[in-house]
Structure 1
Amino acid sequence: MRHQSKSKRRQSAMPGEQALPRIIIEKEEPWLRVQENVNRALADALEVRLSSLPGGAKGEQAKKLRPSLEQHLESVRRRMWEMTKPNLRVNGFNYEDFVETTEPFDESLDRQIWALNTERVNWETKVVEKRRIKAGEVANLIDDLELRRDAAIWKPTEEDERQELEAQEADIAKPERHAEVLETFGKVVSNLSELASLSRAERVQVVREELSRLP
């Protein structure tokens, strides 16, 4: 907080001072390599310093000092790299706002994505068009099959039925004494009718006699 207040007082004291332009880096990988090289150089310098102690880098004195020196060196490195962030612009982003997981723009991958998307749209359009066309074709095919089925089914006309009836009558020969049989059958029917009438008259007469006997 004290450092921030000093910075604010310094900025207010020099309103005409312009901020220095940031160092532009297209990709983060080169900057990470710079950090790796600097860290390696600092580690090598530490080893040289420890080697100058009595007993060398593997001596007792070096073993006692190594943990604290490595911790101090790590703290220096961390502060140093944090101080560089406000002066860098990586892949179009201020480095202090740069997300580590942000990947640099890959033009080849972008072209592949657009190509796949275009292919997907084309296939979807073709599928929709085929669904619309095939539905009509299937409906027309069904209508045609029904017409063919109806045409394949034989439906006799009145003339066909009449000719068939005449053919059946011609095929069935009349029995012997056909006329005599018809005459006899007619007489039988007439006699049965007379018997039925006689039976009814007799029943009426019986009823009358029964009624006359009543007191």
Structure 2
Amino acid sequence: MEREELPRVSVGSVADWQRVQNNYSARALNAIHAAIDADDLAEDRDAILAHFTHFMDSTFSMAQGNLRVNGHHFETLDSVGQDMEAFDEALDRRIWSLADTRLQWHKRMGKTRREAPKEIQSRLSDLFNKGQVQDHEISEINNAMSDDDELANDSVPLSLEAIEEFQMTTAITEELDQNVPSQQGRVQRVEEATSQLKSLKY
């Protein structure tokens, strides 16, 4: 089942469509008669009405190409519209809504899988580079210090910025571990619900 790019006009039955045609034709015909009388065109009445009838037939014929009757394309109906089975518009909309939800979850998971590793890699790389700088600084301090006991006992703490970067990276990793299984579970439930609704429909 494919979604139409441009939705059709929906009516409940062929009788509803015929009623629309009759009402529109009656009002248009009254307007034509009023115009004929107002412009004193009584001698041309028959020709005008013939042209009007042809115009209305052409208009309704073109409109049928954009019409759905009880969920079926008008052109697929037989001459009296008797080949229609029951169609649940609400169920159809629900199925499309679930399909859209599933698509959005797939897109969101795909985006997370593409972007999160790069973000983590960038943060870890930055943290590693800062660690190397700090290691170099520690090495220089150690080389400058002559007392072996002081070298053994002294330690240079990590900077507050480096600690915050490490904590943030750890938090992102934990969030991914928690969210990805949850998103996969939601997608699976949406797919199961869609399958159940389709089995009810068909």
Of structures 1 and 2, the one with the larger relative CO (CA 8 A, separation 6+) is 2
User: What is the TM-score normalised by the length of structure 2?
Assistant: 0.37
User: What is the TM-score normalised by the length of structure 1?
Assistant: 0.35
